[in-house]
Structure 1
Amino acid sequence: MSEFERSRTMPALPELVFDQAADVNLMDRWLPRDLHVRAEEPPAVTVHEDRTDEDARGLFAAHPDQLRLEWGTRDDGRYAGWLQVAGIGSGASEVTVHLSFFDGSHAPPDDVVQAALDDSLERLAEQVRMRVESAG
């Protein structure tokens, strides 16, 4: 099993950050650039990966009361992840993303996963920044 976790602070209220991250129709704006999520009958989603040109059946759940997202593969249980938003005071938030690959043979190289997590959190922060600026 391989596990990865990254965190980042964002200058926005946790509810705003969570709403941005939880919108399935906007996930392409912050997920790794080669992943695309298509909502189905909740909690089902399909994730398309450009690199392999394959679709994977997944599950996605948003828990607004906990400011938490959870996801994973639907059929084989080989992958899961979560995103947690926490308020840290002064209108700022910390976002933590955690990924678990239960079958090491399906896990990408560590440096690729860490770079993708950093890039995704950067892209989410940019989406949140644009949303805050447009609201202000």
Structure 2
Amino acid sequence: MTEYERSRTMPAQPEHVYDQAANIGQMDSWLPEALHVHAEEPPAVTVHEDRTDHDTAALLRSRHDQMRLEWGTREQGGYSGWLQVAGIGGGASEVTVHLSVFDDDHDPGEKAVGDALDTSLRRLEEQVRLRVDHAAG
């Protein structure tokens, strides 16, 4: 098993950040560009990967009271992860995303996963900024 984790500070209240991250209909705007989440009967979702044109049965749980998302594959148990939003004062938040890969044969490697996590956090911050700027303007 391999573990990956990244964090990023975002200039918005934690509730705003969490609401953006947890919105299934807008996850494509911040997830890695090749991944798409399709809601089924909650917490069941399907994750489609463009690169392989493959659908994976997964679970996605939103724990709003903890400002935490948790996910993982349903059948094969290949990966799991979580996203946690925490307020850090002054109207800012820290977002941490963690990924556990259980099958080393399907682990894309530290650089690929690190880049994907960093890019996803950057894209989430962009979406949060758009939402906060739009609400203020």
Question: What's the TM-score once normalised by structure 2's chain length?
Answer: 0.98
The alignment's C-alpha RMSD in Å is: 0.4
Q: Which residue of 2 aligns with 1:28?
A: 28
Q: CA deviation at 1:76?
A: 1.5
Q: Give the aligned partner of residue 120 of structure 1.
A: 120
Give the percent of matched residue pairs that are identical in Structure 1 and Structure 2.
Answer: 67
Amino acid at match of 2:87: G
The number of residue pairs the alignment matches comes to 136
Unaligned runs of 5+ in 2: none
User: Aligned ranges for residues 61-80 of structure 1 at < 5 Å?
Assistant: 61-80=61-80
TM superposition score normalised by structure 1: 0.99
SS at match of 2:52: coil
Partner of 1:2: 2
Q: Which residue of 2 aligns with 1:11?
A: 11
Q: CA deviation at 1:50?
A: 0.3
Separation (CA, whole Å) in 1 of partners of 2:125 and 2:49: 23
Over 6 Å off, 4+ runs = none
Displacement of 1:34: 0.2
Runs of 5+ consecutive residues of structure 1 not aligned to the other structure: none
* Separation (CA, whole Å) in 2 of partners of 1:126 and 1:4: 22
